[in-house]
Every structure is written in structure tokens, then in C-alpha cells.
């Protein structure tokens, strides 16, 4: 019993289809061979390659999600640590090392810092009176601690330190119109932001202006 192969069937189909073009038997056979070679069956190898590609993309996406989650956790943890540190110093109320309501004179006292303390535009929105300050630190970075009184006589402490992108790059920037990050610690409201190239953190009672 004769079995017709795929090759023979395809050649016969080509001969019949192109009969109107008057192709010779040899030309039709040649065309059939070309078409047969162009048929690429799906092999197990190609399936495995596709599976590996999909798996690689899935792993990459998972790594991105994990990295984002770790970064968010780190930022939240660091914010909480800063808030705890500055609220502790605000509450401890160590004696001021310099007194006065003239900002330039008070700022001149901090000559050992690698930056010059600045008046905050964000805090100037309220009515505050400078009363003095002292040296301190934020996360190991030397800082200036400036003390103010609001109209109700409530103490507002402003901490300023030099900007370090390795520590503080997640904080909002005042010049970009971003609002300070707010955290409550030890019963105080702590605002944290970047302004004029300095990291700033203010501490006050929640109901203070």
C-alpha cells in the first residue's frame, strides 16, 4: 500500500494551484520544496525558551516589587528614628548655648558647622519669635537647634543639618512645593523637609500654630 508523503501532497497542491500560470512540473516541484522548508513546527526547545523568557520577566518584576517595598520600609523607619530623636531633644530642653531674637547673631554662633543656619520660609508662615539655640545632631550629622516661641508662648524647635543624599533623599523639597513629611512622636508633631539645601525638622505640640 502506497503512502503519500507530506512532500508529495504539497507538490501536488502547488502544481494544481499554479496550473493557470503554466508552471512546469520541475518548477512546481522546486516551489513545493521551498514552501515545505519554510514550515517551522513548534518544537520542545522553542517552548522551553519561551517558558524561560516568561520566568525571567516574572522574576525581574518580583525583584522590582521587593526592592520598592524595602525602600518604602527603610524610609518609614528612618523617618520614625528622626522624629524620635528630635522630639526627645525638644522635650529634654537642654540649656541654650546662645540667646537672642536676632537671627543673624544667633546663626553666627554656629561657626563650627559646615553650613550656615537659615531662616525657614516654611516656618515663617506662622508668627514665631526666635529665643536662641544650641548645637545638636540628627542621625549623627552635626546640626543646629533653634528655639522659637509662638503667639501662645508654646515652644517650637527647629533642627537644621546639612543635606546628605545617602540619608535624606526621600524627604520632600520645599522649593518644589512639596509638603513636609509629618510624624507624631512622644506626643509631639514633627515636620520634616528639605529647604535651601538643608534638612529641617520642626517639633511642636499638635495644637500649636
Which SS3 state, helix, strand or coil, does residue 111 take?
coil
Q: Does one domain contain both 108 and 200?
A: yes
Structural domain containing residue 137: 57-204
Q: Does one domain contain both 22 and 85?
A: no
CA 148, 154, 156: angle at the middle one, nearest 5? Answer: 40
Place of cell 508633631: 189
Q: Does one domain contain both 86 and 118?
A: yes
CA distance 201 to 89: 12
Look at residue 69 and tell me if it is in a domain.
yes
Look at residue 148 and tell me if it is in a domain.
yes
Q: Does one domain contain both 61 and 91?
A: yes
Look at residue 209 and tell me if it is in a domain.
no
Q: Over 90: is that where the pLDDT of 70 sits?
A: no
Place of cell 507624631: 184
Q: Does one domain contain both 24 and 105?
A: no
Predicted pLDDT of residue 150 = 92
Q: Over 90: is that where the pLDDT of 101 sits?
A: yes
Q: Does one domain contain both 63 and 141?
A: yes
Look at residue 128 and tell me if it is in a domain.
yes
Predicted pLDDT of residue 167 = 84
CA distance 142 to 162: 8
198 strand-pairing partners: 162, 195
Q: Does one domain contain both 13 and 103?
A: no
Q: Does one domain contain both 14 and 74?
A: no
Q: Over 80: is that where the pLDDT of 163 sits?
A: yes
Q: Does one domain contain both 78 and 151?
A: yes
Look at residue 80 and tell me if it is in a domain.
yes
Least confident segment among 41-50, 97-106, 126-135: 41-50
Q: Does one domain contain both 132 and 194?
A: yes
CA distance 172 to 163: 12
Q: How many domains does the structure of the chain reveal?
A: 2
Q: Does one domain contain both 196 and 117?
A: yes
Q: Does one domain contain both 65 and 160?
A: yes
Q: How confident is the model at residue 209 (pLDDT cuts 50, 70, 90)?
A: very low
Look at residue 48 and tell me if it is in a domain.
no
Predicted pLDDT of residue 96 = 96
Amino acid at each position: 500500500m502506497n503512502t503519500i508523503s507530506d512532500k508529495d501532497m504539497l507538490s501536488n497542491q502547488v502544481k494544481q494551484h499554479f496550473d493557470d500560470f503554466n508552471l512546469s512540473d520541475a518548477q512546481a516541484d522546486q516551489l513545493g520544496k521551498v514552501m515545505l522548508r519554510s514550515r517551522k513546527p513548534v518544537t520542545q526547545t522553542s517552548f522551553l525558551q519561551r517558558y524561560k523568557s516568561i520566568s525571567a520577566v516574572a522574576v525581574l518584576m518580583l525583584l522590582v516589587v521587593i526592592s520598592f517595598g524595602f525602600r518604602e520600609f527603610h524610609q518609614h523607619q528612618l523617618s520614625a528614628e528622626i522624629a524620635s530623636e528630635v522630639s526627645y531633644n525638644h522635650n529634654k530642653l537642654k540649656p541654650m548655648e546662645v540667646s537672642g531674637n536676632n537671627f543673624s547673631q544667633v546663626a553666627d554662633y554656629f561657626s563650627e558647622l559646615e553650613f550656615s543656619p537659615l531662616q525657614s520660609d516654611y516656618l515663617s508662615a506662622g508668627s514665631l519669635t526666635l529665643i536662641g539655640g544650641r548645637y545638636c545632631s540628627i542621625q549623627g550629622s552635626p546640626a543646629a537647634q533653634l528655639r522659637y516661641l509662638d503667639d501662645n508662648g508654646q515652644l517650637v524647635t527647629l533642627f537644621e543639618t546639612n543635606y546628605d543624599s545617602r540619608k535624606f533623599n526621600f524627604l520632600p523639597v520645599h522649593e518644589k512645593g512639596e509638603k513636609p513629611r509629618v510624624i507624631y512622636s512622644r506626643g509631639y508633631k514633627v515636620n520634616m523637609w528639605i529647604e535651601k539645601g538643608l534638612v529641617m525638622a520642626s517639633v511642636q505640640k499638635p495644637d500649636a500654630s
